[in-house]
Structure 1
Amino acid sequence: MSTFYEVAEKLEHLHVLETGSVTTPKGYTAGGLHCGIRFKQKDLGWVYSEVPAEAAGVYTTNLIKGAPLHVTQDSIAQEGKLQGIIVNSGKANTCTGEQGIQDAYEMRKNFTDMLNIKEHYGAVVSTGVIGELLPMEKVNSGISQIPAAIKKNEPNHFEKAILTTDTFTKNVAVQMNIGGKTISIGGAAKGSGMIHPNMATMLSFITTDANVPHSDLHAALKEVTDETFNCISVDGDTSTNDMVLLLANGLAQNDLLTKDHLEWQTFVEGLRFVCESLAKQIARDGEGATKLIEVQVSGLEDDHVARQIAKSIISSNLVKTAIHGEDPNWGRIVCSVGYSGTPLNPDDLTVSIGPVKVVENGLPLPYDEGKATQELKEEHVTLFVDFNQGVGRGNAWGCDLSYEYVRINASYRT
C-alpha cells in the first residue's frame, strides 16, 4: 500500500485516508451478509446512496456477458442515475438463458422495493461460477434483510461479500478541496484471477459526493479506466461479468463540476488515483501471486503506444514465470516488446530491472546478475523500458505466475 501513498504525496491537493472506503463520501452506506449462495462466506453486498446519483459504467469486452450486466446497463440508460447496487458472489448468472435474465431483473425489483426507490435506480452485479442459476429463494431472503442492516453502514462487510478467490479486501479513499468544498472519492473492488487488459475484468465500485453531470462523469471514467484498470493483467483471461461503476450524488454541494471547470483536472486526478490504487491491489492479489510487477515504458511518440507495449510485457507468461523464479532473463522482456504490435526501432531500446540496466541501444550490457536477482526478490518489482524517441509514457501492472495459480484454478468449483 505504501506505493499508493507515495504517489499521492506528489499530488499535494489529494489527501489519502488510510481507513477510507466506498462510504467515505457523504450520503453512502454499504454492507454485506451471508445468504447461502456460498458455504460460509458473506455472499450478498450492497451500496446505497441517500439520494439518486449520477452514474457511469464501463463493462467487459468479452462478447459473452452475464445477465446482470444487461440489467445494469438498462438501469443506467433510462436516466443516467443509480441509487443502489446489489452484488452477489458465488454464481455469475452467465450462460443461464432467459431464466438468468429474469432472475437478474427479479433481484433488481426486490432490492429497489426494499429500499423504496425507483426500480431503474438499482444496479445488479454477480460474480462466481459460470453456467449455474442463482438460488433465488436464498438471494431474496438475503435482500429482505437489507433494510434492517443498511442502518449499520459496514463497508468492510461489503468488501468481503464481493470476493471470490481474492485473499484480501480492496479499498481506498481520497479527499480534495474544489471550490471551497471538500470532495471525497471512495472505492472498493474485487479481483484476483481472470484479469486481463481491456475493461472490464473485475468488479470495482467507486463513489463520490461531487456534483458532476452524467456525460462528464462517464467521460472521466472512460479516460481513467484506459490508464488504470485496462493496464492490469493476471492471467490473460477476460471475464464475462465484470464492470466498473461510478456514482456521484452531489452531496458535497459543490458548484457543478464539468470538464470546462477550472478545477476539473483536480477531480480527474483524484479519480485516477482511486482507480490506480484499486488496479494495483487487484494485480497484487493475483491468484497465487507473490509479487506485484510494474512496467514503466517511456520515450515513445504517444502515451497510447507506450501503454500498449507495457501491457504486452505485463501479459507475458514467460516474463511472469521468470520473475516468480527470480531469474533476470531480460530476453523475455525484449521478446514481449517485439510482439506488442507497435512500430518501434529496436536499436533505441533500453531495459532495466529496477535500477540495473541490462540492455542499451538494443544491445546487452555487462551487468551484475546478483543485483538484478536481488531486485526480483522484492515484493514490488519494477521493469523500465525506454525508447528515447519521444515523450509518450505508459504503465501497466500485473503479478508473477506461480505453482499456486494452477492449484487454485484447477479446483475452482470444488
Structure 2
Amino acid sequence: MSYNIIEDGHVSSPAGFRATGVSCGLKEIRARDLAIVYSQYPCQTAALFTTNLIVAAPIFFNQAILARKRDNIRAVVINAGHANAGTGQPGLATVVHCAKIAAEELEVPRDSVLMLSTGQIGVAPPLDRMREGIRRAASELDSNGGRRAALAILTSETRPKERALRVSLREGRTVTLAGMAKGGRMVSPNLATLLCVITTDAPIESRLLMRALDQSVSRSFGRLYIDGDVSPNDAVLVLANGAAGGPPIVDGSRELGAWQQALDALCYDLAQQILRDAASGGKHILVTVRGAATDADAAQIARAVARSTAVRLMCARNLPDWGGMLVAVGASGVDLRPDLLELRVGAVTVMNEGLSKRFEPAELIQALSGPEVELLIDLHNGAGAATVWTCTTGAEP
C-alpha cells in the first residue's frame, strides 16, 4: 500500500487548498448550509455528472465551463437546502450571478468557479442569502476549514463524510489526496443524490484525472444502489492544483499507479460512509453477480436484485424465503440459462444448477441475521462480474 490515512484529514488538507462552511439561512433549521472549497493555484479538473436527462442549473453551468477549459478552476461553491433543479432560466441566472459574486470575492476569473446545489427540487436558492453566505465564506476560508465545509453540504444525512490520504511516490516524494461527500437516500449507480469534491496537490493533467476518476467511481459510487433514483444535481469533482511540486505524474508511471490506488481507496471509503449513513442502523447488503456473459449483464442483474423489495425484506426481517432473488434475476432482462443458475445467501446454497437445494431454515436465518448480508448469483455462463452495495433502508412498509 502506497498511501496512509491522515488522522482528522479533510478536503482542505492538500497543500494550497482552503475551505469553510457557513450558515446563511438556506435550511429550515439553522445550520451550516453553504460551503466553498478554494485553491490558491489553478486546478486541473475532472468531473462526472448525473445521467438524468433533466439537469439542475448548477450542473448545466458547470458543464458549459468545463467544456471550454479544465485547467483553470479555482473554487467550488456548494449550497444545501435548495436544489435549483426544475427552475429554468431564473435558476440558471441565479447560478451565474452567484458564480460572479464568488469570483469577485475570491479575486479569481469568472470562469474559474464551479457551482453545486442540493436540497429541495423546484426551488432556487434566494439570491440575497446566497450573496451573504458567499461573502462570509470567502472571508473565513482557511486550510483547516474542511470539516466545516463537509458539514455545510449535508441535507438529511446524520454525519459528514470525509477522508484524506497521504500518497508515497518515488524518492521520498509525497502528495495528498482528500475528499468530502454527501448522500444517503436516493442513491444508485448513476450518482443519484450524490455530491463529492476531491482535492489533491499532485501535479497531474486533466486527461489522466478523468481516466482515473472514471475507474474509481466505477468501483465505488457506481456500486451504490439504495433507492434507485437518479437526481438532476449529482456530481463528482476532482481538483488537482500541483502545489506539492515536482515533475508531473505521467501516463504509465509508477506515480500514476500509486495515485490511482489512493483515489480508488478514497472513493471506496467515501462510498462506504454514504452506505453506512443510509443504512441508519439497518443492514448492508452486498450483491455479487458472476459468471455472466459480460460485466454489463452482471451489473444489470445485480441492480435488479438490489432494488427488489422482496429481497430487501428478506434481509431486513431474516425471512428464510429466497424466492425474491430468483424472481429478480429472471426479471432483470438479461438472457441466461436457468439450468446453470446458482444462488447463495451467505454460505448457504439455496439453488444449484437451476434446482432448489435442501437446507435448514435456521441456517438461512443465521446467514441473514448479521449486520451485513452477502448474496451471490452465479450464472456459470461467462466471465462477466459485478458487485452492488445496498441496504435495508426503505424495505419496511
Partners in 2 of 1:97 and 1:312 — Cα distance? 34
Q: Is 1:243 aligned with 2:220? A: no
Instruction: Report the Cα offset of residue 179 of structure 1.
Output: 3.0
| Residue equivalent to 2:39 | 49
Instruction: State the partner residue of 2:2.
Output: 13
Distance 1:112 1:282, change over 3 A: same
Specify which of 295, 298, 316 is matched with residue 290 of structure 2: 298
In the alignment, the residues of structure 2 paired with residue 66 and residue 383 of structure 1 have an alpha-carbon distance, to the nearest angstrom, of 36
Alignment-derived partner of residue 310 in structure 1: 302
Match of 2:80 in 1: 89
State the one-letter code of the partner of 1:144. Answer: R
Q: Which runs of 5+ in 2 are unaligned?
A: none
Q: Bigger CA drift: 85-94 or 308-317?
A: 308-317
Aligned to 1:215: 207
State yes or no: 1:126 paired with 2:117: yes
1:32-43, aligned counterparts within 5 Å?
A: 32-38=21-27, 39-43=29-33
Distance, in Å, in 2 between the alignment partners of 1:403 and 1:340 is 19
Structure 2 residue aligned with 1:394: 386
- When residues 305 and 211 of structure 1 are mapped into structure 2, their CA distance, relative to the original with a 3 A threshold, is farther
Asked if the contact 1:328–1:372 (Cα under 8 Å) also holds between the matched residues in 2, the reply is yes
Unaligned runs of 5+ in 1: 1-11, 407-414
C-alpha distance 267-340 of structure 1, shift in aligned 2 (>3 A) = farther
Distance 1:353 1:403, change over 3 A: closer
1:290 counterpart SS class: coil
CA distance in 2, matches of 1:176, 1:19: 16
Correspondences of 1:345-360 after superposition (within 5 Å): 345-360=337-352
Structure 1 contact 165–192 (Cα < 8 Å) conserved:
yes
Amino acid at match of 1:169: P
Question: CA shift at 1:287, angstroms?
Answer: 7.0
What displacement does 1:288 show? 5.6
Distance 1:71 1:83 in 2: 15
Judging changes above 3 Å, is the alpha-carbon distance between structure 1 residues 369 and 171 closer, same or farther for their aligned structure 2 residues?
farther
Match of 2:166 among 175, 199, 215: 175
Q: What does 1:362-377 align with in structure 2 at a 5 Å threshold?
A: 362-377=354-369
The one of 56, 59, 72 aligned to 2:49: 59
Q: What secondary structure sits across from 1:138 in the alignment?
A: helix
Alignment map for 1:255-334 (pairs within 5 Å): 255-286=247-278, 290-334=282-326
| Aligned mate of 2:144, from 135, 153, 166 | 153
Check 1:20–1:300 CA distance in 2 against 1; reply closer, same or farther (3 A cut).
Answer: farther
The answer as to whether partners of 1:191 and 1:202 remain within 8 angstroms in 2 is yes
> Matches of 1:40 and 1:90 in 2, distance apart?
11
% identity of equivalent residues: 33
TM-score, normalised with respect to structure 1: 0.89
Residues 23-43 of structure 1 deviation map (CA, whole Å, 9 limit, x = unaligned):
232222221111011121211
Deviation of 1:314 after TM superposition, in Å, equals 1.4
Contact 2:167 2:176 in 1 (8 A): yes
> Partner residue of 1:192?
184
Q: 1:164 to 1:50 in 2, by over 3 A?
A: same
Larger mean CA deviation between 72-81 and 297-306 belongs to 297-306
Distance in 2 of aligned mates of 1:336 and 1:263: 43
- The amino acid of 1:27's aligned partner reads G
Displacement of 1:247 in angstroms is 0.9
SS at match of 2:229: coil
Which residue number in structure 2 is paired with residue 231 of structure 1?
A: 223
**Residues 353-385 of structure 1, C-alpha deviation per residue, up to 9 Å, x if partnerless?**
222222222222222322322332322222222
SS of aligned partner of 2:79: strand
- 8 Å Cα contact 2:13-2:146 kept in structure 1: no
The answer to whether the 8 Å contact 2:316/2:395 transfers is: no
Assess, with a 3 A threshold, how the Cα gap between structure 1 residues 270 and 107 changes in structure 2: closer, same or farther: same
Provide the rounded CA distance (Å) in 1 between the counterparts of 2:278 and 2:70.
33
Distance 1:18 1:355, change over 3 A: farther
Question: Conserved in 2, the CA contact under 8 Å of 1:350 and 1:386?
Answer: yes
Q: Cα gap change, 1:173/1:313 in structure 2, threshold over 3 Å: closer, same or farther?
A: farther
Secondary structure at 2:100 match in 1: helix
Shift of 1:136: 1.1
Name the CA distance, whole Å, in 2 between partners of 1:389 and 1:403.
31
Partner residue in 2 for 1:77: 67
Cα separation, partners in 2 of 1:355 and 1:73, compared to 1, 3 Å: same
**How far apart in 1 are the matches of 2:15 and 2:349?**
48
* Structure-2 change in CA distance of 1:259 and 1:327 (3 Å): farther
| Native 8 Å contact 1:358 1:366 kept in 2 | yes
Q: Quick one: structure 1 residues 394 and 99, their matched pair in 2 at CA, closer, same or farther if it must change by over 3 Å? A: same
Q: CA deviation at 1:263?
A: 4.1
Counterpart in the other structure of 2:100: 109
Three-state SS of the structure 2 residue aligned to 1:107 is helix
The answer to whether the 8 Å contact 2:180/2:197 transfers is yes
Q: Cα–Cα, structure 1 residues 303 and 19, in superposed 2: closer, same or farther, change >3 Å?
A: farther
Aligned to 2:15: 26
The 1:334–1:25 alpha-carbon spacing in structure 2 relative to 1, beyond 3 Å, is farther
Q: 1:183 to 1:372 in 2, by over 3 A?
A: farther
Residues 187 and 141 (structure 1), Cα distance of their counterparts in 2 relative to 1, 3 Å cut: same
Once the two structures are superposed, residues 206-250 of structure 1 have per-residue CA deviations (whole angstroms, 9 ceiling, x without a partner) of 112222111121122123223322221111211111111111111
Equivalent residue of 1:297, what SS?
strand
Aligned counterpart, 1:381: 373
